[in-house]
Amino acid sequence: MTVSVTNKAPELCMPKVMGILNVTPDSFSDGGQFSNINNALAQVEKMIEDGALIIDIGGESTRPGAKDVSVTDELSRVIPLLKAIKSRFKVDISIDTSKAEVMAQAIEQGADIINDVRALQNKNCLKVLAQTNIPICLMHMQGLPRTMQAEPKYDDVISDIKSFFRQRIIACDSAGISKDRLILDPGFGFGKSLVQNFQLLANFSQFQSFGLPLLAGISRKSMIGKLLNTEVDQRLAGSLSAAIIAAQQGANIIRVHDVKETVDALRVLQAVNSNNF
C-alpha cells in the first residue's frame, strides 16, 4: 500500500476513498449491523464495487462516550474478518486500533495500514510498528473518547495539532519508524468543539507543511449534524461537501461511510481541477 505525496499539484491527484467498516455493536452511524461476518463481507464487496481502495476495519468504538473494549473482544471481532476479506478480495485493509496486540496480529494476517486514533501513544505500539514496514495513520485526539467532548481547549487549534504531529513524528523516528511511513489526520470530532472542527476544515491545507499524506474523516460526524441540525442518516450532503473541501486542500485519503456518492463527488472535483472532462 502506498499513499504518496506526488510532485503534482494536490488538486490533480484524486484522493483515495477509505470505506468504513465498524464491527462494533454500538457504532454511531451503522448501529452494529456489520458485526455479523456475512453482512460485513457483503458490505466490503459493495464498497469495493463503489470505488473504495481501502477498507478501514474497527473493532473498538471511538464515538464520544464509548467504553473500553478488551483485547480478546477486539481480536475476535477484527481478525476473522480480516482473514476472510484477504482471502476473497484484493483491496487494502486498514485496521483501526490502538492496541499493540491487535496491531501485531493484524499485520501478521496481512493488514496494509494501521489507523491509530491515539497516534501510537499506547503501550508497545511504537515497538510493534517499528518491527514492520506498513503505513501508519497518526490521528490527533484531545482527551479520550469517554470524555473528549466535555470541554476541548486549545491555544490555537491548528498550531496545537501541528505541534502534536511534530512530537509524534519525533517519537516514531526515535523508535525506528521512518517519517515516510506516516499519514497525518487532525481527527475531526475527537476533542474539538463545533467551531474548532470548522476551523480545522477551513485550514486543512496547513497540514501539508509536513510533506506527508493527509487523511480526513468527517463522514456523518456530529459537526455536520450540529451545523445542519440533522440526524445521522440525513448527513450525506453535508458529508460530501466536507469531503470536497478537504480534498481541495490536499487530503490524500477520505474516510467515509457513503463510498459511491463520495467517489462521484471527487470525480467531479477532479474533472474540473484537471480540466479533463
Residues found near ligand 9MG in the complex (CB under 6 A): 58, 62, 96, 115, 117, 137, 139, 185, 187-188, 215, 217, 255
Say if CB 200 and CB 122 are below 8 A apart.
Answer: no
Q: Beta strand pairing status for 113-116 and 54-58?
A: unpaired
In the chain the first and final C-alpha atoms are separated, in Å, by 29
* CB nearer ligand 9MG, residue 148 or residue 265: 148
Say if CB 232 and CB 28 are below 8 A apart.
Answer: yes
- Is 83 assigned a catalytic role? no
CA–CA separation, 116 and 190 (whole Å): 12
φ/ψ (deg, to 5) at 188: -55, 130
Closest residue by beta carbon to ligand 9MG: 217
Is residue 37 classed as helix, strand or coil in its secondary structure? helix
Kindly name the residue from 181, 220, 221, 235 that is annotated as catalytic: 221
Cell 469495493 belongs to 48
* CB nearer ligand 9MG, residue 95 or residue 128: 95
* CB nearer ligand 9MG, residue 47 or residue 117: 117
Of 125, 74, 81, 90, the closest CA to residue 104 belongs to: 125
Is residue 137 classed as helix, strand or coil in its secondary structure? strand
Instruction: State the nearest-atom distance from the C-beta of 188 to ligand 9MG, in Å.
Output: 5
- Is 146 assigned a catalytic role? no
Instruction: State the nearest-atom distance from the C-beta of 246 to ligand 9MG, in Å.
Output: 10
* CB nearer ligand 9MG, residue 102 or residue 139: 139
Counting Cα atoms < 13 Å in the Cβ hemisphere of 268 gives: 10
* CB nearer ligand 9MG, residue 10 or residue 58: 58
**The C-alpha cell of 46 is what?**
459493495
Kindly name the residue from 77, 99, 181, 255 that is annotated as catalytic: 255
Cell 477532479 belongs to 270
Instruction: State the nearest-atom distance from the C-beta of 206 to ligand 9MG, in Å.
Output: 17
Instruction: State the nearest-atom distance from the C-beta of 47 to ligand 9MG, in Å.
Output: 16
Instruction: State the nearest-atom distance from the C-beta of 128 to ligand 9MG, in Å.
Output: 18
Catalytically active residues, by annotation: 221, 255
